Structure 1
Amino acid sequence: MGIKGVSSAPGDFIYFKSQVPLHRIPIGTKQWRYYDFGPKVVPPLICLPGIAGTADVYYKQIMFLSMKGYRIISVDIPRVWNHQEWIQAFEKFLDAIDVHRIHLYGTSLGGFLAQLFAQHRPRRVKSLILSNSFIETKSFSAAMPWAPIVSWAPSFLLKRYVLTGIRDGPHEPFIADSVDFVVSQVEMLSREDLASRLTLTVDDASIGPLLLPDSSITIMDTNDYCAVPLQLKDQLNERYSEARRAYLKTGGDFPFLSRPDEVNLHLQLHLRRVGVEARPDLVQVIPKADSDSGPSEKKDETGGDDDTHEDDNEHNGSSPSENQTPPAPESPEPHSIEDRLLDNAEACYLANEMLVSTHGENKVLVAVLLLRYVQMIYVGCLMLGMKDAGSSHLLSFIPNR
């Protein structure tokens, strides 16, 4: 989708588009639209959006995490019409971009598709981050009487169905901006794109046992509201009972846009925990003023008929540069502060687990230590300017038990 179609984009989306190339490659009959940014020697975190999202919705994660030395790949869900076709198409995509071991971050439908791929291609998936997701689609098909004919439905009906699933206002400003951004993307999607994604949502299926251990899974949910019914989120939590939890007190359906500081913190914690080593030494910093001129102003003139998006700064092909330039400059001092913040957060997780498993007088001592760690994280967040993340939201580290 082109930046001309975005009327209210949260954050510096225009700057992101000027610095991060969009790639489009045909693989068989499928057209893949994706971003691939960060050092290619680092095992990638691949982001899969929900029904209403495209590869663009994760631009805040791409901008931030690539600056830390991580490789982030964000993809559009291609036009596939059943779950087996998704598994085969995604595997061909990974082969085409020469990626073999991956970490998956999926929200809503993207989380379901991530689990599905992990179930059927266990050797390729090293870890999962699931946000506002589910493990079965039966509930969705039961709630849509016209599910059998969704692939033939007209565009206006498909868009209306998707948009009614997004909670209308009033919202706080950041959540309202995230909703506006995603709604603008839905308006740019073709009838075939929407029909394909809704078909994947209502096609009756459930996730079977995964070979991936729960310790390699993080469940990141918002506690205010979400289009995914609470009972489906509870099913997912029960299935992966030993997975790490990262609860966001607010954020709505699109916390990656409305609460990027918190989401990025949890993503870093997960990647560190599963052994992904960032390569900040391969990050090249450029002055932001450079975004005003140069190759970023070139318009794409090769868009295929199969894709209705119009994007600036597009690249066709699957071989971005080895050490890509990150989208925003940053002084060296905050790196050490953020490292301490991550260390403190990991220690807080540790104290959290001790608190859950401790009884009697020792529990009081552990609780004091836990509160001290939360205070340390709060101070670190304030030093980074992450005021929201440093206040009530980081209290989500405290267990509800």
Structure 2
Amino acid sequence: MSTMCEPLHKLSKKSLTQGRNLFLWGHRNPAAGELGNPLNGGFNVQLFPHMSINTLYRWIRLVTGTTDPFELRPVTIKTVPTAFLGYAVVHTTSPALQESSTEVPPAGDYGAYYPSLAVRHAVEIRNAKSIQEAYNEYCGITPSEDEGDILRRVIVPKSTDSMILRSLESQPSLSYILSNFPGPLVDYNVMPSDVKDAVKQRSRVCELSGTPGGNHGDLTVEWIFLPSEAFRLPENLSFNFDPSPYVVPQNAIYLHRNLVKPLTDNAIGVDVEDDFRIVRFVGDLDLQGLSLPSHVSQAQTQRFDTAMKEFLRQHFVWCLRVHICGGDVLEDFKEEDIIETMRELGFRVGSDDEEVETPPLDDPLWQTEIGKVCWEMRVRSSLAGYR
């Protein structure tokens, strides 16, 4: 199992910036032509000293929305010689991380699997169906059809690979989206005066830090989850989404002005299920001298109704998408740039590509970032016996 001290895979800019040392690898989809396993998430264990193994599982479930059983198991990462920055996950015999554990998760590489290593299922074979057709049907590859008499049942293994980590979809911060991709719903972000008044009546201090306002406008009312961007949530995906349910006092919070940017940048979030812990997702967070407690005080949380807790939860999940999800090194490159460079360097990318003469070693293209990776591919392929 590789660690941050000696990574066996090239780190993305996101992983390097965050100092990641725990990596969550998804399983490849051969049907989609994938040669390697995607890196779907990760983080710096030292940045979250409060995180337990149970917390890690819970955060994954929060983002993916799954209640299905799965296990995180240590894996070994090896290079795929014929794939551009492709890496393959190799199973190990190391024990899985126990979901109930309160210990800190060890740094390293992990994959998700179904709890049983020997999952086997009975598949009905009907007339006019081959075993492969029946198995494909069972796996959901083909539509289910029940016509025909049952001829026999066969026992087939089902893959123990859980695809749960493939659902760790990365997203930019809400403030970045609003600044760079303002949509048609942006007018919903103008906060009505009655919403502001209701929030000010709910609390007289900052609802996160407990800091009183003073006489210099230190406190302001801000949205928890921007109404204009609520359509991006998986549960709200719709062509006719109505943001009105987000234009309510429960989706607004009384904040000290030094916390406005960290909240809208998704640099901090409230983990409702962890006794309203205030989680910092950025190590060098500048609060301009403001003291931020580890948890929202009970004096404040007792005023949070069910709806407000849900808005805080939605904001927190988005924080996880911004900081914990994604980070595959391929995110640093444009696919068309990779393909174009590889072809110019004599690689056959597609089955229809014609043979191209490999340029000499002094060609400047070999010195580009993509070119250097291609050279490593050529060397590894030669050592592995590929042409």
Give the alignment's TM-score, normalised by structure 1: 0.23
Higher relative contact order (CA 8 A, sep 6+): 1
Greater share of helix residues, 1 or 2? Answer: 1
Whichever of the two has the greater Rg, that structure is 2
